[in-house]
C-alpha cells in the first residue's frame, strides 16, 4: 500500500478563504493522487470527493466548489474526525476554524496526526496582536496599532485620532486572514466612511500604522530534521495598488519576485525575522512570515501557519528557488505529522 493512500487531504472549510483552500488542495492533490480528498463544505458537512472532480474545477478563486456525487463522511467536522482511522490529515485549509487552532485542538484531543502547527501556535499566530506580543521580545520592529470593534464606544473619535497621529493606517481583521477586509485609510473622512460601511460587523479589527518600504515574505520549513529558512519573496505593487485578494490571487496590480532582489545582508535580515517569529510563536512543520523592509530595519507584520499552497503561492515559489521538490516537501511534512505524538 502506498504511503500516500494513508493520507487525507482536508480542504474547504467555512471561512472566507475557502476558495484559496480549494486551489491549494488542487495543487497538492496532483502531487499525492492516492490521498483521500475530504471537502469541508460551507454548511459544515464533510464530503468525500473524487480527484477528477477537484482537478476539473476551474476559476477556483472566483467560483465556489460544489462537488456532485460525493459521499458524506460526517455531518460536521467533529463527526468526520471519527472516521480518520490511522491516516494522516494533511491540512490544506486557510482562515477561520481551519487555521485558528479550533480544528487542530479536535485532532490533538483524538491523537490524530496532522500537518503544520499545533492548536496553541495556530491560535497565537491567527491573533495578530497576541502574535506580536509573542515576537516582540525578539527585538523586532512593530508598527503602532489600535485594536477595536466597529461598535466600540467612542471608536469613531479614537480611530480618527489614531489616523491623525500616524497619517496612514491599514485596517484588517485581527483574528483572520488579511486578504479579505483589508482597507487603507488616510484621512478622518475615510475613517468615518470605513466605520459606516462596517457598522454591522462584530469582528475584531486591528488598525496599524502603514509602514512604507519593500514588502517581503519568507517561509520556514523543517527539512531533514532541521529548521530551514527559504529564499525571500518580494511583492512589488503598481502605483496606488494594494496587496488585497485581487492582487494576491489574480495578480492584479502587482508582481511577485522569488527570490527577491536583495543584498546578502538584506536577505539574511529578512530570513532572521521569519525564523525568529516561527520559533517564538511555536510553529511546527512550516510557516510563512510577512514583513516590511525599511531603512530603519525589518518590521514584523504577521505569521501564517497554513500559507497558501496553490501552484503560484509563495511557499511553492520559495521551495522551487531553494531547489526542494514540492513532493519532497509534502513527504517530509507527512513524516513529521506521523511522529508528532511520539
* pLDDT per position as a tens digit, 96-154: 999 999 999 999 999 999 999 999 999 999 999 999 999 999 999 999 999 999 888 89
Q: Is residue 331 part of a domain?
A: no
Q: Output the nine-digit C-alpha cell for 248.
A: 494576491
| Residues 15 and 95 grouped into a single domain | yes
Q: Is residue 89 part of a domain?
A: yes
Domain of residue 307, residue span: 126-140+213-324
Q: What's the number of domains the chain is made of?
A: 3
Torsions phi, psi of 48, nearest 5? -85, 130
pLDDT tens figures, 320-339: 999 999 999 999 999 999 99
| Residues 230 and 136 grouped into a single domain | yes
Q: At residue 221, does pLDDT exceed 50? A: yes
**pTM for the whole thing?**
0.90
* Contact call for residues 123 and 98 (beta carbons, < 8 A): no
Mean pLDDT, rounded, of the chain: 91
pLDDT band at 237 (very low <50, low <70, confident <90, very high): confident
Specify the higher pLDDT residue, 255 or 142: 142
Q: What is the pLDDT of residue 245?
A: 47
* Contact call for residues 179 and 314 (beta carbons, < 8 A): no
| Residues 190 and 167 grouped into a single domain | yes
Q: At residue 155, does pLDDT exceed 80? A: yes
Q: At residue 249, does pLDDT exceed 50? A: no
* Contact call for residues 277 and 289 (beta carbons, < 8 A): yes
- Average the pLDDT over 242-256 and give the result: 56
CATH number at residue 110: 3.40.50.20
- Average the pLDDT over 251-257 and give the result: 72
Q: What is the pLDDT of residue 4?
A: 58
Q: Output the nine-digit C-alpha cell for 125.
A: 499566530
Q: At residue 28, does pLDDT exceed 80? A: yes
Q: What is the spatial distance between Cα 176 and Cα 131, in angstroms, rounded to a whole number?
A: 12
Q: What is the spatial distance between Cα 178 and Cα 25, in angstroms, rounded to a whole number?
A: 20
| Residues 188 and 243 grouped into a single domain | no
pLDDT tens figures, 35-52: 999 999 999 999 999 999
Q: Is residue 279 part of a domain?
A: yes
Q: What is the spatial distance between Cα 263 and Cα 72, in angstroms, rounded to a whole number?
A: 52
| Residues 133 and 276 grouped into a single domain | yes
Q: Is residue 335 part of a domain?
A: no
Extended beta strands in the chain, E state: 7-12, 36-40, 46-49, 71-74, 88-92, 145-149, 169-173, 183-185, 204-209, 214-223, 226-229, 233-237, 254-257, 286-294, 297-304
| Residues 78 and 98 grouped into a single domain | yes
Q: Output the nine-digit C-alpha cell for 141.
A: 520592529
| Residues 13 and 105 grouped into a single domain | yes
| Residues 131 and 238 grouped into a single domain | yes
| Residues 173 and 301 grouped into a single domain | no
List the single range of 67-76, 93-102, 169-178, 300-309 with lowest mean pLDDT: 169-178
Q: What is the pLDDT of residue 242?
A: 53
Q: What is the spatial distance between Cα 120 and Cα 104, in angstroms, rounded to a whole number?
A: 9
Q: At residue 310, does pLDDT exceed 80? A: yes
Amino acid at each position: 500500500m502506498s504511503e500516500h493512500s494513508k493520507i487525507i487531504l482536508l480542504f474547504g472549510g467555512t471561512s472566507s478563504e475557502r476558495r484559496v483552500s480549494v486551489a491549494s488542495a488542487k495543487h497538492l492533490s496532483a502531487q499525492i493522487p492516492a490521498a483521500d480528498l475530504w471537502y469541508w463544505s460551507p454548511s459544515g458537512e464533510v464530503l468525500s470527493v473524487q480527484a477528477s472532480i477537484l482537478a476539473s474545477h476551474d476559476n477556483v478563486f472566483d467560483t465556489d466548489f460544489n462537488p456532485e456525487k460525493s459521499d458524506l463522511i460526517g455531518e460536521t467536522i467533529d463527526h468526520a474526525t471519527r472516521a480518520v482511522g490511522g491516516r494522516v490529515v494533511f491540512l490544506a485549509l486557510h482562515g477561520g476554524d481551519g487555521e485558528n487552532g479550533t480544528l487542530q485542538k479536535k485532532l490533538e484531543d483524538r491523537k490524530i496526526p496532522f500537518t503544520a502547527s499545533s492548536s496553541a501556535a495556530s491560535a497565537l499566530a491567527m491573533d495578530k496582536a497576541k502574535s506580536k506580543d509573542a515576537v516582540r521580545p525578539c527585538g523586532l520592529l512593530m508598527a503602532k496599532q489600535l485594536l477595536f470593534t466597529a461598535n466600540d464606544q467612542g471608536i469613531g473619535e479614537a480611530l480618527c485620532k489614531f489616523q491623525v497621529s500616524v497619517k496612514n493606517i491599514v485596517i484588517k481583521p485581527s483574528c483572520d486572514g488579511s486578504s479579505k477586509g483589508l482597507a487603507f485609510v488616510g484621512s478622518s473622512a475615510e475613517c468615518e466612511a470605513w466605520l459606516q460601511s462596517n457598522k454591522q460587523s462584530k469582528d475584531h479589527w486591528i488598525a496599524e500604522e502603514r509602514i512604507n518600504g519593500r514588502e517581503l515574505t519568507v517561509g520556514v520549513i523543517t527539512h531533514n530534521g532541521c529548521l530551514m529558512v527559504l529564499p525571500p519573496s518580494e511583492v512589488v505593487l503598481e502605483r496606488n495598488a494594494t496587496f488585497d485578494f485581487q492582487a494576491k490571487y489574480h495578480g492584479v496590480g502587482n508582481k511577485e519576485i522569488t527570490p527577491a532582489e536583495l543584498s546578502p545582508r538584506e536577505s539574511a535580515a529578512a530570513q532572521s525575522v521569519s525564523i525568529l517569529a516561527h520559533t517564538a510563536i511555536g510553529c511546527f512543520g512550516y510557516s510563512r512570515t510577512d514583513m516590511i523592509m525599511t531603512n530603519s530595519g525589518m518590521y514584523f507584520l504577521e505569521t501564517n501557519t497554513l500559507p497558501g499552497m496553490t501552484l503560484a503561492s509563495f511557499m511553492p515559489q520559495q521551495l522551487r528557488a531553494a531547489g526542494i521538490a514540492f513532493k519532497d516537501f509534502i513527504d517530509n511534512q507527512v513524516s513529521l505529522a506521523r511522529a508528532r505524538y511520539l
